[in-house]
Amino acid sequence: MNRLAILIIAVVLGVSLVYVKDSRATIRTPEELVAALYQVHKGKSDPLQYPRSKKLLGQYFSESLLKLYLSDQRQSKGEVGRIDFDPLYDAQDFQITDFKIVRLDNKGSAALVAARFKNLGVDEEIVFEMRKIKTGWRIADIKYKDGRTLMNILKG
């Protein structure tokens, strides 16, 4: 009887620990989504490169932005496509300091989130246009300091 009670307690504790971990990983705000994308991007290999990006970016990009991004990567066949820079830093080379993410605006199912940082000592700001869909927040477009947007770059 004692063994059965211990087994039941162990199973309940294990399930509760998994539930707590999953609930903490849930992205609730547009800032959390942008922060999560930058965190994934910090890895040793670039998760934005095809074919890894096909699965990963669906969690972050809106359907229309994802289709354009993946199309550019397929068409470029491993070479430089329309995007000749890192879209999260608007640069080819970077040394990032003073990184922070802030919400600029929020109107129900739309929001603007900025990533602010210094790259090689220069102040930068990348603005993410966010949309809320059934499954959560997604990046609909990325706006750069000089007026370019990722969507327009990908449309050519």
pLDDT tens, residue by residue, 32-90: 999 999 998 886 556 676 566 677 888 999 999 999 999 998 888 777 789 888 999 99
Domain 26-155, architecture per CATH: Roll (3.10)
| Spatial separation of the C-alpha atoms in residues 95 and 72, rounded to whole Å | 26
Owner of token pair 């990963």 = 56
* Contact residues for 104 (Cβ-Cβ < 8 A; gap 6+): 111, 112, 113, 114, 127
Sheet of 122-133, strand order: 96-107, 110-119, 122-133, 136-143
CB count in 10 Å sphere of residue 72: 17
* pTM over 0.85, yes/no: no
